[in-house]
């Protein structure tokens, strides 16, 4: 069994790598610290499972997952992340991942998730699965329908990241970010960055501590 582990924190990667090696027989662990490195290793080694963080320094985990699924719809991806907000979980699953667990979960949860996803079966951490089942649908006041790319830009805007930095972070043009931002404003019926922030907090997508200094909440 070959597992690709993509996380930008060396200590986290080493911990998960050691844990998986100890729990699974004949398991080879490949490690990547960035999204682009992870995608390159996937292309080179065709691992049986990709364990993928969402927050990465270049390509986001969502973008990496999307690129992998576009090239191999049967690829088995398990997202593991510090994010436990439902819109983020749903976006990860919409990309085509089979599983999602939080980094606060126990080793038992990790092993169960890896086992299930390796078998081609979906797995969402129990608490998150229950919250997803209880989540209000869009027509009853949930987050309006946005594409995965729009959602990524929405989150970064809400965190206070300037459009030029967003473009660099997602490896797209500033014009692309501007176009998506205009569509987001129309879909979400907002007119300012401050309203993006308020909406993201309202839906539990971000917390106040994640907003970059200098963001204006009352404009």
The answer to whether the pTM exceeds 0.75 is: no
d(CA 178, CA 131) in angstroms, rounded, equals 33
d(CA 219, CA 209) in angstroms, rounded, equals 19
Query: Is the CATH number 3.30.950.10 carried by domain 140-210?
Result: no
pLDDT (tens digit per residue) in 36-84 = 999 999 999 999 999 999 888 888 899 999 999 999 999 999 999 888 7
The CATH class, in words, for 2-134 is: alpha beta
Hey, CA dihedral for 106, 107, 113, 116, is it positive or negative? negative
Q: 85 pLDDT band (50/70/90 cuts)?
A: confident
Q: Name every residue whose Cβ is closer than 8 Å to that of residue 70 and which is 6 or more positions away in sequence.
A: none
Alpha helices in 29-95 (DSSP H): 35-45, 61-71, 86-95
d(CA 144, CA 152) in angstroms, rounded, equals 14
d(CA 11, CA 22) in angstroms, rounded, equals 17
User: What pLDDT is stored for residue 84 in this prediction?
Assistant: 78
Of the candidates 94, 83, 148, 93, the one whose C-alpha atom is nearest the C-alpha of residue 124 is 93
pLDDT (tens digit per residue) in 113-137 = 999 899 988 888 877 876 765 554 4
Q: How far apart are the first and last CA of the chain?
A: 53
Output the CA torsion 127→19→30→109 (10° steps).
Answer: -20
Domain ranges of the chain: 2-134, 140-210
């Amino acid at each position: 069994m070959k597992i690709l582990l993509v996380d930008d924190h060396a200590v986290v990667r080493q911990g998960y790598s050691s844990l998986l090696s100890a729990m699974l027989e004949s398991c080879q662990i490949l490690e990547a610290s960035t999204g682009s490195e992870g995608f390159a290793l996937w292309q080179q080694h065709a691992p049986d499972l990709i364990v993928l963080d969402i927050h990465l320094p270049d390509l986001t985990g969502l973008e990496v997952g999307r690129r992998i699924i576009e090239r191999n719809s049967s690829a088995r991806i398990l997202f593991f992340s510090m994010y436990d907000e439902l819109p983020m979980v749903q976006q990860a699953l919409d990309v085509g991942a089979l599983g999602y667990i939080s980094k606060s979960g126990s080793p038992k949860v990790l092993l169960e998730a890896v086992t299930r996803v390796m078998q081609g079966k979906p797995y969402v951490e129990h608490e998150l699965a229950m919250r997803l089942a209880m989540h209000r649908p869009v027509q009853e006041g949930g987050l309006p329908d946005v594409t995965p790319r729009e959602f990524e830009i929405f989150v970064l805007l809400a965190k206070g990241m300037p459009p030029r930095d967003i473009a660099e972070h997602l490896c797209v043009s500033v014009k692309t970010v501007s176009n998506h931002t205009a569509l987001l404003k129309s879909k979400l019926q907002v007119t300012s960055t401050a309203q993006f922030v308020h909406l993201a907090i309202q839906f539990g997508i971000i917390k106040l501590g994640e907003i970059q200094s200098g963001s204006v909440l009352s404009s």
